Amino acid sequence: MRMLALVLAVAAGPASAGHVVRVDAPPRREVNVPAGEFVMGLEESDVGDLEQDCRTAFEQHQPTQFALPNGAPTTFCEMYARELEAMTDKIQEGDDALVDRKVYLSAFAIDRDEVSVTDYRACVATGACELDPLIAGDTRYVRDDWPVVNVTWHEAQTYCRWRGGRLPTEAEWERAARGDDRRTWPWGDADRPNDFNHGTAVLPAMRELDRYTIGVPMQFIGNSDPSDGNALLAKPGSYAWGEGPYGTRDQAGNVAEWTADALGLGVGGGDLGVGYRGLPSINPRRDGRADEPRVVRGGSWRQPAFLSRADVRDPYNVLYVPDGRFTHIGFRCARSL
């Protein structure tokens, strides 16, 4: 880390000769995650409960059916259950033997906090980043001390490269949030809804309105919930008790976050329930097609709290195309060590 004081006497001129000005270094921007092995995935016993959470949040009334790529009918929560089953922490090995899904990751650094509007403005000022996230979409969410949203996956990658990094892979994101003990939330296994910025399920009346005004069968966002201390977004790091095992903040809630991985459409016989299947056990990453939806993790300020768990995605990941802009999605950067 850079030294904590700068001697400015020479630059200040003779009148200030010998004068020392102390400039405190900003808080550490990154946290380091050592190389090692961890068990990636969701416990099988949680799949049924999460599917029910999905139905309660999004399908309280008649669910809308869709056709999978293979033609089979499904609903969002049925599709979500397939994805959850493919994200469990067990894999089949040999003759029906289930073993832990162990993943080895090389050492990496990851941002302690989500990238803020101020951070992003600095990149725009150099000409390296596009201005669009600051002027496209609903500009009510553009506040210097809030996380930047309305940013596409491509723009997030560009910013991270400008910083000398990249977007974290899904595996890196999950290990930073969960550590090596298979915890459910960054802080442990206890559900503590006041320790992160989350939302609630969209009201049925608003869901019906969205059906016709936005043009999607069921909207993928909900309502904000001020009971957690913030009606909308929060300044990164506002929830001190939500810190993860390596020191990251807001990996549960505030804004959902882009990762480097493609979702995996078109893999596994046309079923959308791909999850972690087909990924290598060492530094896994799914590149996918250029236009394929990207994995988003962590839940947000306007989504039901259960989507902020460190071991799940949300059921609308198929909509998160890399050139899409969303008022509940931001990002943080990572880099290899």
Give 123-129 contacts, CB < 8 A, sequence gap 24+: 123/158, 123/159, 123/162, 123/163, 126/162, 128/158, 128/159, 128/162, 129/155, 129/158, 129/159, 129/162
Average pLDDT value for residue range 208-218: 43
What are the two backbone dihedrals, phi and then psi, of residue 14, each rounded to the nearest 5 degrees? -60, -35
Q: How confident is the model at residue 309 (pLDDT cuts 50, 70, 90)?
A: very high
Distance CA 321, CA 329 (A): 12
Q: For residue 63, what pLDDT is reported?
A: 67
* Residue 294 predicted with pLDDT over 90: yes
Find, among 59, 41, 61, the residue nearest to 51 by Cα.
Answer: 59
For 232-274, the pLDDT digits (tens) are: 899 999 998 889 999 999 999 999 999 999 988 754 444 566 7
* Residue 211 predicted with pLDDT over 70: no
Query: What are the strands, taking DSSP E only, across the chain?
Result: 30-33, 36-39, 66-67, 73-74, 90-93, 97-100, 102-105, 108-111, 199-200, 223-224, 256-262, 294-297, 329-330, 334-336
Average pLDDT value for residue range 97-110: 91
**Number of other residues whose CB lies within 10 A of the CB of residue 66:** 16
| pTM for this model (two decimals) | 0.85
Side chain identity at residue 121, one-letter code: R
Q: For residue 268, what pLDDT is reported?
A: 46
For 143-176, the pLDDT digits (tens) are: 999 999 999 999 999 999 999 999 999 999 999 9
For 176-210, the pLDDT digits (tens) are: 999 999 999 999 998 888 889 998 877 655 555 44
How far apart, in Å, are the Cα atoms of 127 and each of 7, 147, 150, 157, 323? 31, 20, 19, 15, 20
Between 1 and 233, the more confident residue is 233
Percent of the chain with pLDDT over 70: 79
Q: For residue 6, what pLDDT is reported?
A: 33
For 279-292, the pLDDT digits (tens) are: 899 999 999 888 89
Q: For residue 58, what pLDDT is reported?
A: 80
In the three-class reduction of DSSP (H, G, I as helix; E, B as strand; rest coil), residue 198 is classed as coil
* Residue 25 predicted with pLDDT over 90: no
For 76-97, the pLDDT digits (tens) are: 788 888 889 888 988 776 666 6
Name the range with the highest mean pLDDT among 16-20, 21-25, 44-48: 44-48
Q: For residue 57, what pLDDT is reported?
A: 84
Q: For residue 289, what pLDDT is reported?
A: 87
